[in-house]
């Protein structure tokens, strides 16, 4: 037997193994540092799987730390949702969750250290003035007129900033680095700004808050994070990250950047996702059309499918775009293995089997999941009146239509073959009922002596035991492959007006006893999950994904 090929290490694993081999660290500590200003999306899932996965692989730990340095946009709701998402994906952080706000006192002390070293100063310039003095990547910036304030004056002003003596925006604390550096982040970056805003954890204790670049690396260092893994847009921030650590002479956390996840037909900006929520385009952050983890969960995605997707796309140094079909393939593959099969008719018309005895009910056996060798079977009732899909019947079918029509025969799933004899139209000319005869010697699982040839099998639901169901069919939220890449158009211009269709149909009786967390394949219709809007009176199901990828085929016809 051939040996199984060992999976090659990604570049981050190579770095970690090198550091451990050299004895640089006895064990690794990573962190996942979300800002609680929105719900996590599938891009964050990639980071979660990476950080927690590395810690598990190398026997280390991962800290969950909320970078809550901007109280204007942060909320406890987001904190709670983030914790729920991480746990749902199957991961557990170290002994407790951490917050950058836990370190506000220490970070303030770090700022004092830099002021005393002559490496930070209080600037009275406005934000616009600071921007104008910053220069361009090819043109050096200008020194602030307040750059040469004495250490004593800077210490006094910074303390008075903390004490609330100055108006918001009137002063900032800046690092004193190099206004001619080709790296714009090193041109005397802002470390603190005055912002009177109630913080969800520290209340009104502070009226000055550290900028992300000043809080991030120091928080990593305080927690002894060995490998601080960020997305690629922070690569140009790394020299500043290292500069702060070097000048403060604190634990040297190492920042490593990887390419973020980019999915076509998808928006990955929390600011833009918030706009969709606020303008009522979607029904909240957990709308099943949203790429948020909570939206994917509500739609019926499984943690395993998302982790498998993240494993498939891998870790790279260069930006690329992943086809959303791969995400859909990952959940389809997993659901095919675990989802129980059920029969649900979404667009029902009634079939009356005229020669089936009135009042007779047969309990037919049907397996729950043919992909699972340990799967059990269930019983479904069969009687004279059933519902079938309206799309399974045509009055004048074309040659390539192999389902039911006048004089045509089909097999009812796990039941009998039937032949259509007649039909009835309603006042608008739509088919209201069809009338068939069944062939008693064609029962599934028994010898078929009917002599009737059929070319298709359709699903059905018994009328008497039918369960009312609402079906929500979701499609991609955007029609354009890159909705936020157009300079002359807003991403909202590419919304897919057909991203949601709601149908009312009937499901088999077993759905009454199923659990909300169960996953389903509705025969011939796709994979579905029960929604929280369900009630005993009407069950509500979200389509997670179709049985096959029909999007590209559909696009090709347009």
DSSP letter string, 199-239: BTTTBTS-SEEE-HHHHHHHHHHHTT-SEEEEEGGGGGGHH
Is 272 assigned a catalytic role? no
The structure tokens listed for 177 are 């680095």
What are the phi and psi torsion angles at 83 (to 5°)? -60, -40
To the query of whether residue 270 is one of the catalytic residues in this protein, the response is: yes
Q: Cβ(337)–Cβ(371) under 8 Å? A: yes
Enumerate residues 6+ apart whose C-beta is below 8 A from 329: 549
- Number of Cβ within 10 Å of residue 69's Cβ equals 24
Question: What's the residue count for the chain?
Answer: 558
User: What residues are paired with 352 via a beta bridge?
Assistant: 385, 435
Catalytic one among 171, 270, 299, 403? 270
Residue 178, both tokens: 């190099």
Q: Select which of 35, 153, 235, 362 is catalytic.
A: 35
Residue 24 annotated to the active site: no
Question: In the numeric block, which tokens belong to residue 425?
Answer: 């139209």
Separation CA 497–CA 508 (nearest Å): 31
Q: Measuring CA to CA, how many Å separate 358 from each of 320, 383, 440?
A: 63, 8, 15
Distance CA 344, CA 369 (A): 15
Catalytic member of 171, 260, 297, 408:
260
Separation between Cα atoms, residue 556 and residue 558, nearest integer Å: 6
Cα separation, 323 vs 40, in Å, equals 20
Say if strands 431-439 and 98-99 run parallel, antiparallel, or are unpaired. unpaired
Q: Give the catalytic positions in this structure.
A: 35, 260, 270
């Amino acid at each position: 037997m051939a040996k199984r090929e060992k999976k090659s290490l990604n570049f981050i694993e190579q770095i970690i193994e090198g550091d451990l081999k050299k004895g640089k660290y006895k064990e690794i500590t990573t962190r996942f540092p979300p800002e609680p200003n929105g719900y996590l999306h599938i891009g964050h899932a990639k980071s979660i799987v990476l950080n927690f996965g590395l810690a598990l692989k190398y026997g280390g730990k991962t800290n969950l730390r909320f970078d809550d340095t901007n109280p204007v946009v942060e909320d406890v709701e987001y904190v709670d949702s983030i914790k729920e998402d991480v746990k749902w994906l199957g991961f557990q952080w170290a002994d407790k969750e951490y917050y950058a706000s836990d370190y506000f006192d220490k970070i303030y002390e770090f700022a004092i250290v830099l002021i005393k070293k002559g490496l930070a100063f209080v600037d009275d310039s406005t934000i616009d003035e600071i921007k104008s003095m910053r220069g361009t990547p090819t043109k050096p910036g200008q020194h602030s007129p307040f750059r040469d304030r004495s250490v004593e004056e800077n210490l006094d002003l910074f303390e008075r900033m903390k004490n609330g003596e100055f108006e918001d925006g009137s002063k900032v604390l800046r690092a004193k680095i190099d206004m001619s550096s080709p790296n714009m982040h090193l041109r005397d970056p802002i470390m603190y700004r005055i912002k009177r805003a109630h913080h969800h954890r520290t209340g009104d204790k502070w009226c000055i808050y550290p900028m992300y670049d000043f809080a991030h690396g120091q928080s990593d260092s305080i927690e002894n994070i060995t490998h601080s893994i960020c997305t690629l847009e922070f690569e140009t921030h790394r020299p500043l990250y290292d500069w702060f650590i070097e000048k403060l002479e604190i634990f040297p956390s190492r920042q490593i950047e990887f390419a973020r996840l980019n999915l076509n037909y998808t928006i990955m900006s929390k600011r833009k996702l918030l706009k969709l929520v606020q303008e009522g385009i979607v029904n909240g952050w957990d709308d099943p059309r949203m790429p948020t983890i909570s939206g994917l969960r509500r739609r019926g995605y499984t943690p395993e499918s998302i982790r498998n997707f993240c494993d498939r796309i891998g870790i790279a140094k260069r930006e690329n775009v992943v086809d959303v079909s791969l995400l859909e393939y990952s959940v389809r593959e997993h659901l095919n293995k675990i989802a129980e099969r059920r029969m649900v008719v979404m667009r029902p018309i009634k079939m009356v089997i005229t020669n089936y005895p009135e009042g007779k009910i047969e309990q037919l056996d049907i397996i729950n999941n043919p992909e699972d060798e340990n799967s059990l079977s269930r019983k479904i009732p069969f009687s004279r009146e059933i519902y079938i899909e309206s799309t399974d019947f045509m009055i004048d079918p074309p040659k390539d239509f192999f389902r039911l029509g006048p004089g045509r025969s089909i097999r009812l799933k796990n039941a009998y073959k039937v032949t259509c004899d007649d039909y009835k139209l309603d006042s608008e000319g739509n088919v209201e009922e069809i009338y068939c005869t069944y062939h008693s010697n064609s029962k599934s699982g028994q010898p078929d002596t009917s002599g009737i040839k059929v070319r298709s099998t359709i699903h059905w639901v018994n009328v008497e035991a039918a369960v009312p169901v609402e079906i929500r069919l979701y499609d991609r939220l955007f029609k354009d492959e890159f909705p936020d890449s157009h300079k002359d158009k807003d991403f909202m211009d590419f919304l897919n007006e057909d991203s949601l269709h709601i149908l009312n149909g009937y499901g088999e009786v077993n759905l009454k006893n199923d659990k909300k967390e169960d996953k389903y394949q509705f025969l011939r219709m796709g994979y579905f999950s029960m929604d929280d809007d369900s009630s005993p009176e009407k069950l509500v199901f979200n389509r997670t994904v179709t049985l096959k990828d029909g999007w590209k085929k559909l696009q090709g016809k347009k």
